[in-house]
Amino acid sequence: MKIGIVGTGMVGSASAYAMALMGVGTQIVLVDHNSALARAQAQDIAHATPFATTVAVRAGEYADLDGAAVVIIAAGVSQKPGESRLALLERNVEVFKAVIGGVMQAAPDAILLIATNPLDVMTFAAQRIAGLPPERVIGSGTILDTARLRSLLGDHLGIAPNSVHAYVLGEHGDSEVCVWSSAMAGSVPIVSFAKQIGRPLDEAARSSIAEQVRGAAYTIIEGKGATWYGIGAGLARIVSSITDDERTVLSVSQVTDEIEGVRDIALSLPRIIGREGIVATLMPDLDADERAALKRSAGVISDYTSKLKF
């Protein structure tokens, strides 16, 4: 099964590398306006496959995306000194018009997986530009934030992160919402689990963990300039759920009719992902504070999407 990636910088190349090592798909095609970069990334990643899988990795043009099941879009422009976030968004919308136009001409049946920040706003823009049903335009959303939360909770509780079932919802950004009321460790509510093993998750501990989740990107960016490995693996995980029709529950972003009174909004909720894209959306049981926080997060995103011009 062919997977396309448009934009072969650190995020695009990391996702290609993760998929190649994990054996996701049978062919990965890298496309970039800098064709030399795409060729170099493809060649470098291909040289790793003899140690792992038989996935073919090559560079190409938009036409080479023909028949792709999924196309990851990791293309975008950087913010200029003094440029407002809205101005940056408008420039990225113009980039997306060109990119998505090329993708849809070559692979009209592909599912689009958006990785460009600000993630939720660009997911909204991609769905509007492509004109596809919302379930076929997926933003990576809070899949990485959720992984960070589970990792930190695993450390706190002394258990494997994959035994933690907790989600981050809303914006992939500062207004994201860590959901504690429905979080579980194994089959036990997480606060109760923590109490039973003598590692309490009181309000101070929960607040500290949530702050670390929100601040993780800033810490990584301060140390090395950008984040790419975590999101690369997250994108590979989403693609594998699509290609293998796994129907895995993952926290991803999608344009949704209404969330907490905010209409026509892209944000992350737990969603079932399979071969046709997003199969269903799940709303966790939230307490009053979490519900209010999710509404605030939706409002933050809506403030930008409502001003975009298509």
CB–CB of 135/280 below 8 Å? no
Indicate which residue of 47, 156, 165, 172 is catalytic.
172
Per the structure block, which two tokens stand in for 88? Answer: 């940056």
* Residue 47 annotated as catalytic: no
Per the structure block, which two tokens stand in for 76? Answer: 């975008």
**Radius of gyration over every alpha carbon of the chain, rounded to an integer in angstroms:** 19
Catalytically annotated residues: 172
